[in-house]
Amino acid sequence: ALWQGLGLSGAAKHLDADYLRGHRLMPGVRRFLERMRVARIPVACISNDVIEWSRILRKTHGLEDLVFHWTISGEAGARKPDAAIFRRFADATGPKYGQCLFVDDNAYNLDAAQDLGFRTMLFVGGQSGLASASHPVASRFEDVEARILARG
């Protein structure tokens, strides 16, 4: 229905595959995930995504063994920044919000997480010089790692 609504014709399976083929991992993410795994620091994912697409991308990029839990909006029935998706994450993983560093590229999502007690970090993906009054800023995954390791 999505592809038809966008005016595209063809089998959804093929259109999905074409769309997903264009997805790439951000530079540094695999190294970050591997380093967190070695350090025994669990990394989880909260994402607004179609569950089927999320599963395909995890497998395609070999992320299944590097991320210990996935909370995906298509399965959770709520989308960031709705508090319900964060509660769903906490119900599934057990940690208290204050024990989690929530990293996102959207300040609205970070504000919602911070209101619940999450520690937060704005990821600006290689852009330097950007600042946030409410959230520490990371331009690389090394910045995220340093923040995590500094908190112990």
Q: Mind giving me the DSSP string for the chain?
A: -HHHHTT--S-HHHHHHHHHHT--PPTTHHHHHHHHHHTT---EEEE-S-HHHHHHHHHHTT-TTT-SEEEEHHHHT--TTSHHHHHHHHHHH---GGG-EEEES-HHHHHHHHHHT-EEEEE-TT--S---SSS-EESSHHHHHHHHHHH-
**Amino acid 12: pLDDT:** 76
The closest of 96, 92, 114, 115 to 45, measured between CA atoms, is 92
**Consecutive 10-residue averages of pLDDT for the chain (152 residues):** 78 77 89 96 95 92 95 96 96 89 94 96 77 85 93 62
**Residue the block writes with tokens 């790692």:** 145
**Amino acid 14: pLDDT:** 76
**Amino acid 98: pLDDT:** 87
